[in-house]
A = this chain, B = another copy of it.
Amino acid sequence: QKTSRSELMGASPGNTGAAPPRLPFSRVTQEDLAFFRALLPGRTITDPDLLKSSNVDWLKTVEGNSEVLLRPKTTEEVSQILRHCNERNLAVCPQGGNTGLVGGSVPVFDEIILSTSLMSQVITFDNISGILTCQAGCVLENLSNYLEERGFIMPLDLGAKGSCHIGGNVSTNAGGLRLLRYGSLRGTVLGLEVVLADGRILNCLATLRKDNTGYDLKQLFIGSEGTLGVITAVSILCPHKPKAVNVAFLGCSSFQQLLETFQRCRGMLGEILSAFEFLDASCMSLLEKHLKLTNPITESPFYIVIETAGSNATHDEEKLHKFLEEVMTSSLVTDGTVATEATKIKALWSLRERVTEALTHEGYTYKYDISLPVEKIYDLVQDMRGHLGDMAKNVVGYGHVGDGNLHLNITSPSKDPALLAAIEPYVYEWTSEWKGSISAEHGLGLKKRNYIYYSKPSEAVALMGSIKAMLDPKGILNPYKTLPDNIH
């Protein structure tokens, strides 16, 4: 089966981010620009300086050469843009906050960038049901603040919240820090408005918890990274703001003890457990070195962030203290600190949330976002350290224990083809061997598109190609992303 997989990939191992040849889309003409300027006066950007930050991804690992950035404000404008582009065979790269990690949100060649940054209005919020409807370009943190004032929270939270757009979150089926408690966007997103490749507006913006009338079309657009349509509005079910939140930051001397702590935690904290995250000692060193953060407990090989969120502070603290007593007494946990006050909670969370940022100061980072059976997640990190030896500057692991999701990061002073060839396809073969996913939450984008066969059978990938052909026959939407090069 491995042979056929390599054949299907049609690409040499180690080509992370390598672009395929440009597909025969049209080039933007003066007539096209005139059309866009008439439709979006002052919001059709062609100044190369202003385009620069939209052409390159947050990690600065993928850079395109788009000459046009469009900033629509309404769904109708998005519809007219796409209708025009489809007729003219112009490729389009939809872009939200541009915080993706797999090169999915930037152009590869000269695709027109369609930004949702001016689509940032809340449309409605119902404070009985907790259902929020908003435009796709709302920044996640702004929505969080809006909701907190009203006694609710967003069902997702992630490190990039200050920049990422809800439309991008939905397009990439973002996971993040609250998935353990509130589930994935596939359950919490109740409705979407989407503009299809040919400009048709698909209004599935329902605000109902249950609706079994026909096929659930919105699911096609969740996680398809803008390749099937452009999400213009989202309705989402938001939980009540918990009355009590506690965060514990703990140290463990082995990953085995960390796993046992997780098992006890699930039993004893049960329904109030809202996050169980980890980072290893290498991550802590990077936080201290590059971001000058302080380790609040004694040094340990592993650190855990546990969050509880509940409706009764007394009950929650009682549960948490009982749990901490048990894991300290049984020596599963070597040291720890607990926060109940907002500033201290934020400080503890930043130790987990800012690892990605700390890594960017290390030079070049090869990033892997792997799902595995939870017992196996750290074996991959250790195995990779042995496998790479001195070739890598750092091999670090952190992530969401509760979801079986490891972020494996390998750093190097600069891009290093020999190192890359040692990592890939090794890391994918390893993951595939344990029936894991080679992209748990980051998506495939440009960088991982050709590795899809490690996690999906060829019949499934072929069917994805049929869906793409049905919804976007000319392939203008976010080309070179998500689907492998042998499928168009």
Q: Which residues of A contact B (CB under 8 A)?
A: 126, 128-129, 172-173, 175, 179, 183-184, 186-187, 200-204, 206-217, 219-220, 222-224, 228, 240, 242-243, 263, 266-272, 309-312, 315, 318-319, 371-375, 400, 403-405, 435-444, 448, 452, 454-457, 459-461, 463-464, 466-467, 470, 482-483
Contacts and interface: CB of A to CB of B under 8 A. Distances in A.
Contacts of A267: 240, 311
Contact of A315 (B175, B312, B404, B459): B312
Contact of A210 (B179, B212, B457, B483): B179
Contacts of A183: 183, 187
Contact of A129 (B404, B442, B448): B404
Contacts of A440: 208, 210-212
Contacts of A448: 213
A213 B459 contact: no
A161 to B, nearest CB: 18
Nearest to A402: B209
Nearest to A172: B212
Given A212-B172, A212-B223, A440-B212, A128 B457 contact: no
Nearest to A225: B212
Contacts of A217: 460, 463-464
A461 B268 CA distance: 47
A472 to B, nearest CB: 12
A318 B319 contact: no
Q: Name the residue among A206, A209, A267, A463 with the largest chain B CB count within 10 angstroms.
A: A209
Nearest to A102: B212
A210 B441 contact: yes
Contacts of A223: 212, 215-216
Contacts of A315: 312, 315, 318-319
Contact of A470 (B224, B435, B470): B470
B404 A210 contact: yes
A211 B268 contact: no
B179 A442 contact: no
Nearest to A440: B210
